[in-house]
């Protein structure tokens, strides 16, 4: 993304209204930057590269946040970001309830301002999540809040619980749409049938299968 688009994103971020976290993120503190709370789409053990640190619970999807700042990687930013952190990503600083602050690192892959906001919408949404949650039962709502899965949860709930997969493979069987989702590292997987979860596997036992 060019300099002008980056500057436009930063200006728009300063005027951005309140938003909501779209994915239940893992709170982590990295050894290289202990004073910063990072929000990741999965446990530290499943990150590539792996950054030394510790996890400290989950920030549930639906949590209200404010965009405080957006910092793109560049010579100046990289000079101030220690090794052992996601230095090459866009750092989105979010104001959380209670006055705390956390940094959400997102890939620096957007080619335009519009594309960047589309990527960010996956993680921090402008849409009130209460409208979506109204269609979920209590078991699904609790699963999303704790980054777990339950059989027959809709794909929107799976996205909110585990974040976007790295890969989606789709095929049709007897008129039904079967999908296999795989997350970074290849160890976290899910099978869906016509948009509902059939089975899932995760290294930290948050899936439906051991």
Q: Are residues 80 and 159 in the same domain?
A: no
Integer Rg of the chain from CA: 17
Mean pLDDT in runs of 10 for the chain (210 residues)? 89 85 97 96 90 95 95 89 94 95 95 94 91 91 97 97 95 92 93 97 93
State how many domains the chain has. 2
Same domain? For 25 and 95 the reply is yes
161 within a domain of the structure (yes/no): yes
What's the rounded Cα separation, in Å, for the pair 13 and 6? 11
Same-domain pairing of 25 and 86: yes
| 210 domain-assigned | no
169: helix, coil or strand?
strand
* Closest C-alpha to 24, from 143, 150, 120, 132: 143
Instruction: Tell me if 105 is assigned to some domain.
Output: yes
CA–CA distance, 118 with 116 (Å, rounded to integer): 5
Task: Tell me, yes or no, whether 87 and 178 share the same domain.
Answer: no
Residue 129's pLDDT is 85
Residue 28 lies in a domain: yes
Residue 42 domain boundaries:
3-130
Q: Are residues 98 and 168 in the same domain?
A: no
Q: Is the peptide bond before 49 cis (omega within 30 degrees of 0)?
A: yes
Is the domain of 182 the same as that of 97? no
With 0.85 as the threshold, say if the pTM is over it: yes
Label residue 209 exposed, middle or buried (CB < 10 Å: 0-12, 13-18, 19+).
middle
Residue that terminates a domain, selected from 115, 130, 145: 130
Q: Are residues 17 and 65 in the same domain?
A: yes
Report if residue 208 sits inside a domain: no
């Amino acid at each position: 993304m060019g300099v002008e688009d980056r500057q436009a994103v930063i200006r728009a971020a300063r005027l951005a209204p309140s938003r909501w976290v779209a994915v239940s993120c893992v709170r982590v503190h990295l050894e290289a930057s202990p004073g910063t709370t990072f929000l990741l789409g999965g446990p530290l053990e499943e990150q590539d590269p792996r950054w030394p640190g510790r996890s400290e619970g989950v920030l549930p999807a639906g949590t209200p946040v404010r965009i405080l700042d957006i910092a793109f990687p560049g010579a100046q930013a990289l000079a101030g970001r220690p090794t052992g952190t996601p230095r090459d990503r866009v750092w989105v600083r979010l104001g959380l309830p209670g006055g705390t602050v956390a940094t959400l690192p997102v890939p620096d892959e957007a080619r335009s301002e519009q594309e960047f906001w589309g990527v960010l919408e996956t993680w921090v949404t402008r849409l009130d999540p209460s409208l979506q949650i109204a269609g979920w039962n209590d078991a699904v709502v609790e699963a999303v809040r704790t980054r777990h899965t339950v059989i027959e949860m809709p794909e929107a709930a799976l996205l909110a619980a585990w974040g976007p997969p790295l890969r989606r493979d789709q095929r049709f069987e007897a008129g039904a749409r079967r999908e296999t989702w795989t997350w970074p590292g290849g160890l976290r997987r899910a099978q869906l049938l016509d948009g509902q979860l059939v089975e899932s596997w995760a290294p930290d036992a948050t899936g439906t299968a051991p």
